[in-house]
């Protein structure tokens, strides 16, 4: 692997390199290819999570339905939540971090290309491990937040919770490695002249997200370590009989869990902050305020976790404090919404699919935000806790918000990634079907929630006023399925035979649009010098474009390496050895050590 004969100049992402063999994908350290791997893998997990949701909704279509057993229902909603959060939305965001961030900041790759490959392989193996539980004795069934002491050996004797806890630890390693990488990449690899306040908002939100990840994930790591010790060694961290307090889990979990909410939504906010100005032909309104709001949300996200725990009974002082901070965090979020609206105001708005999804994001996120602020009031929250009202809220924020934002990003950057456009007509159908379907699905949940229908219960009695609205929700989910199928058809067709496009189909303002689509392996033949937040909207843009594509001398690119994948495999085997036994764990440990040492001593230049 010491050879440095990397084929510089071969464009990635084209048909030739797709056919270049699995090995080149396993050993790749190119941020663009890793971004594609992240995107495709995460989308497949998104479909698995969606299938789980579909089964849940079929079960709830009618009262006293027996489509799935209560046990399997518990596994379905647990895996639906866990999959969508850790295997779909986070890695879909990571796919954009990978592909777009180096291009936006004018870099040839991330700061640590092999660490980047390592993140992906750990993510893939962790996701597979978690889903294997369905076939090996039953998936986790304690909810995505796994409240103690339901997760104890006494109440969850099977291996489901073990798969969940170990799987999340493995995925945590992947998220942490990626976050360290992107912090350094964004701070250290910016093109000359790109001061922090000249960075695209997406790069800013990625930076804030990465800081949230590195500070939030260690907390859940510790919470899960305690859980694993309790389950495997017999310690008493969450055992009330020994004087322990199961609320400790809730504090640790939500101290991670609330920043996690912003880890899910900030990248989508970054994406729409790129899409809205491009299709309004206007710079983002109040760029610094949007950036500072994002940073403020990142800070404040640490001071609101107990609003998930009002029903615990923490006392009036704690409740008041967390109610106030929760209302406070609505302010920077509202500021952003007004900035996005003001960006469109007076602009030449062009309603391409990407723009529709961005506008849809704002509308749905406002609705999710409003029901969120309602939870800030402890008396109201006590009525809503554990009802479908909360389910409605999180789906407006995460499906209407994060996923719509991600779709905006897919339609926006697809031409940059593939050199082809997604079909606009199918895109419009996808958008309208999707936004109508999601409202049909999730809006009635507000009502059944306020009527008192509890979440996470596999069925309900007839005649409580839930019947019609549950049926409507289930019909809505089928429409979401159709919308998603329209997208998949569009994607598969466009990837092969979509309309080809030049470097800049939308007239974007940021550096990724200055280079060919798909970008060459080295991205920028010459590293540009940046003088503004929107370099391609300046008068000298054509000079800049000519300049960045002119090769001036030899370009050094890192060679490919299989050691990151080896190290990832070792870690996955080592961790799964806790369930499968030492004949997995010991080889895993050895493979990991060989992988890490070979990686460390492999010449990278």
- Residue 189: count of CB within 10 angstroms of its CB: 18
Which residue in the block uniquely carries the two structure tokens 């002249």?
193
Q: Which stretch binds other proteins (CB under 8 A): 215-223, 321-329, 336-344, 432-440?
A: 215-223
8 scored as a contact of other proteins (CB under 8 A): yes
223 scored as a contact of other proteins (CB under 8 A): yes
Active site residue 542: no
Residues 253-282 that bind other proteins (CB under 8 A): 255
Which of 88, 168, 208, 252 touches other proteins (CB under 8 A)? 252
Residues 127-186 that bind other proteins (CB under 8 A): 176, 179-181, 183-184
Rounded Cα gap, residues 554 and 585, in angstroms: 45
Rounded Cα gap, residues 128 and 119, in angstroms: 14
Q: Which stretch binds other proteins (CB under 8 A): 24-32, 244-252, 490-498, 563-571?
A: 244-252
CB of 295 to other proteins, least distance (A): 16
Active site residue 258: yes
| Sequence-distant (≥ 6) Cβ neighbours of residue 306 within 8 angstroms | 251, 254, 314, 318, 319, 321, 322
| Sequence-distant (≥ 6) Cβ neighbours of residue 545 within 8 angstroms | 503, 514, 536
Rounded Cα gap, residues 475 and 437, in angstroms: 8
Q: Which is nearer to other proteins, 435 or 567 (CB)?
A: 567
Rounded Cα gap, residues 437 and 479, in angstroms: 5
Active site residue 307: yes
- Residue 166: count of CB within 10 angstroms of its CB: 24
525 scored as a contact of other proteins (CB under 8 A): yes
Rounded Cα gap, residues 510 and 522, in angstroms: 18
Which of 99, 112, 491, 513 touches other proteins (CB under 8 A)? 112
217 scored as a contact of other proteins (CB under 8 A): yes
CB of 573 to other proteins, least distance (A): 19
351 scored as a contact of other proteins (CB under 8 A): no
Under a CB-based contact definition with an 8 Å cutoff, are residues 404 and 364 in contact? yes
The torsion angle over the Cα atoms of residues 476, 479, 480 and 485, rounded to 10 degrees, is 170
Active site residue 393: no
Active site residue 336: yes
Q: Which stretch binds other proteins (CB under 8 A): 247-255, 386-394, 441-449, 463-471?
A: 247-255
9 scored as a contact of other proteins (CB under 8 A): yes
10 scored as a contact of other proteins (CB under 8 A): yes
Active site residue 109: yes
CB of 379 to other proteins, least distance (A): 28
Under a CB-based contact definition with an 8 Å cutoff, are residues 42 and 88 in contact? yes
194 scored as a contact of other proteins (CB under 8 A): yes
Would you state the structure tokens that stand for residue 58, as one six-digit string? 């079929």
Q: Which is nearer to other proteins, 229 or 321 (CB)?
A: 229
CB of 578 to other proteins, least distance (A): 16
| Of 244, 365, 230, 240, nearest in space to 297 by CA | 365
Active site residue 174: yes
Identify the active-site residue in 30, 109, 230, 274: 109
Binding track over 20-59 against other proteins, x by CB under 8 A: ----------------------------------------
Active site residue 319: no
Q: Which is nearer to other proteins, 496 or 556 (CB)?
A: 556
Q: Which stretch binds other proteins (CB under 8 A): 239-247, 303-311, 358-366, 415-423?
A: 239-247
Identify the active-site residue in 114, 198, 258, 534: 258
Active site residue 605: no
Which of 64, 135, 234, 461 touches other proteins (CB under 8 A)? 234
Q: Which is nearer to other proteins, 263 or 453 (CB)?
A: 263
Residue 202, helix vs strand vs coil = helix
Measured in degrees and rounded to the nearest 5, phi and psi for residue 420 equal -130, 155
Which of 58, 215, 426, 450 touches other proteins (CB under 8 A)? 215
Which residue in the block uniquely carries the two structure tokens 């839930």?
466
Active site residue 377: no
CB of 153 to other proteins, least distance (A): 12
CA angle 35, 37, 39 (to 5 degrees): 70
315 scored as a contact of other proteins (CB under 8 A): no
Q: Tell me whether residue 72 is exposed, middle or buried, using C-beta atoms within 10 angstroms of its C-beta: 0 to 12, 13 to 18, 19 or more.
A: middle
Active site residue 416: no
589 scored as a contact of other proteins (CB under 8 A): no
| Of 443, 453, 430, 447, nearest in space to 473 by CA | 443
Residues 546-585 that bind other proteins (CB under 8 A): 549, 551, 553-557
Answer positive or negative: Cα dihedral of 5, 560, 94, 496: positive
Q: Which is nearer to other proteins, 463 or 554 (CB)?
A: 554
Largest Cα span, the chain: 76
> What b/e readout covers 363-401, taking b as 16+ CB neighbours within 10 angstroms?
ebbbbbbebbbebbbbeebeebbebbbbbbbbbbbbbbb
Which residue in the block uniquely carries the two structure tokens 């260690």?
218
Measured in degrees and rounded to the nearest 5, phi and psi for residue 396 equal -65, -35
Tell me the β-bridge partners of 573: none
Answer positive or negative: Cα dihedral of 328, 448, 78, 231: positive
216 scored as a contact of other proteins (CB under 8 A): yes
Residues 324-343 that bind other proteins (CB under 8 A): none
Identify the active-site residue in 307, 395, 430, 534: 307
Identify the active-site residue in 31, 33, 80, 159: 80
Active site residue 144: yes
CB of 219 to other proteins, least distance (A): 5
Measured in degrees and rounded to the nearest 5, phi and psi for residue 500 equal -75, 155
Size of the site for other proteins (CB under 8 A): 55
CB of 289 to other proteins, least distance (A): 24
Upstream peptide bond of 149 is cis (omega within 30 degrees of 0): yes
| Of 372, 367, 364, 369, nearest in space to 399 by CA | 364
Would you state the structure tokens that stand for residue 506, as one six-digit string? 């939308």
CB of 109 to other proteins, least distance (A): 10
Helices (H), 158-246: 160-188, 201-232
Active site residue 467: no
318 scored as a contact of other proteins (CB under 8 A): no
Active site residue 238: no
Chain residues that interact with other proteins, rule: CB under 8 A: 4-6, 8-11, 111-112, 176, 179-181, 183-184, 187-190, 194, 214-219, 221-223, 225-226, 229, 233-237, 242-245, 248, 252, 255, 516, 520, 525, 549, 551, 553-557, 605
Task: Show which residues are catalytic.
Answer: 80, 109, 144, 174-175, 258, 260, 262, 273, 307-308, 333, 336, 455
């Amino acid at each position: 692997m010491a050879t440095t004969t990397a084929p510089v100049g071969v464009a990635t992402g084209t048909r030739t390199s797709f056919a270049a063999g699995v090995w080149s994908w396993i050993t790749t350290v190119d941020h663009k290819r890793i971004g594609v791997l992240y995107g495709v893998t995460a989308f497949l997990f998104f479909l698995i999570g969606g299938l789980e949701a579909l089964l849940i909704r079929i079960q709830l279509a009618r009262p006293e339905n027996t489509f799935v057993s209560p046990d399997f229902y518990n596994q379905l909603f647990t895996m639906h939540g866990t999959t969508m959060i850790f295997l779909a939305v986070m890695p879909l965001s990571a796919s954009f971090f990978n592909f777009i961030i180096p291009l936006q900041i004018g870099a040839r790759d991330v700061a640590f290309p092999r660490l980047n490959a390592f993140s992906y392989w750990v993510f893939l193996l962790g996701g597979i491990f978690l889903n294997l539980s369905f076939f090996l004795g039953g998936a986790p069934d304690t909810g995505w937040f796994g409240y103690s002491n339901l997760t104890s050996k006494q109440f969850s004797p099977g291996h489901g919770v073990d798969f969940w806890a170990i799987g999340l630890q493995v995925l945590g390693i992947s998220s942490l490695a990626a976050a360290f990488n992107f912090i350094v990449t964004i701070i250290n690899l910016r093109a000359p002249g790109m001061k922090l306040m000249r960075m695209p908002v997406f790069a800013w939100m990625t930076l804030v997200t990465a800081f949230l990840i590195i500070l939030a994930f260690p907390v859940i790591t510790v919470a899960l370590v305690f859980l694993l010790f309790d389950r495997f060694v017999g310690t008493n961290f969450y055992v009330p009989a020994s004087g322990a307090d199961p609320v400790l889990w809730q504090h640790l979990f939500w101290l991670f869990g609330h920043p996690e909410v912003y880890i899910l939504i900030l990248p989508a906010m970054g994406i729409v902050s790129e899409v809205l100005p491009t299709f309004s032909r206007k710079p983002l309104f109040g760029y610094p305020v949007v950036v500072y709001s994002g940073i403020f949300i990142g800070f404040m996200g640490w001071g609101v976790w107990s609003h998930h725990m009002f029903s615990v009974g923490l006392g009036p002082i704690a409740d008041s404090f967390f109610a106030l901070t929760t209302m406070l965090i609505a302010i920077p979020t509202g500021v952003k919404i007004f900035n996005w609206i003001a960006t469109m105001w007076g602009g030449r708005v062009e309603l391409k699919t990407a723009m529709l999804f961005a506008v849809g994001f704002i509308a749905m996120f406002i609705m999710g935000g409003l029901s969120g602020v309602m939870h800030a009031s402890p008396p109201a929250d006590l009525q809503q806790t554990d009802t479908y009202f909360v389910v409605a809220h999180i789906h407006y924020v995460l499906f209407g918000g994060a996923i719509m934002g991600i779709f905006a990003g897919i339609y926006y950057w697809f031409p940059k990634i593939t050199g082809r456009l997604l079909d606009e007509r199918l895109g419009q159908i996808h958008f309208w079907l999707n936004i109508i379907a999601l409202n049909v699905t999730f809006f009635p949940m507000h009502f059944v929630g306020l009527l008192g229908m509890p979440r996470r219960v596999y069925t309900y009695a007839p005649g409580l006023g839930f019947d019609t609205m549950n049926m409507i929700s289930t019909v809505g989910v089928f429409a979401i399925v159709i919308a998603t199928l329209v997208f998949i058809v569009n994607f598969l067709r466009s990837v092969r035979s979509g309309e080809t496009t030049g470097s800049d189909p939308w007239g974007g303002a940021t550096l990724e649009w200055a280079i060919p689509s798909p970008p060459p392996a080295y991205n920028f033949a010459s590293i540009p010098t940046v003088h503004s937040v929107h370099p391609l909207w300046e008068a000298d843009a054509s000079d800049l474009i000519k300049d960045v594509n002119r090769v001036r001398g030899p370009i050094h690119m890192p060679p490919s390496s299989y050691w990151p994948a080896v190290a990832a495999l070792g870690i996955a085997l080592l961790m799964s050895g806790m369930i499968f036994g030492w004949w997995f764990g010991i080889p895993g440990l050895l493979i990991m050590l060989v992988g890490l040492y070979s990686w460390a001593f492999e010449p990278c230049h």
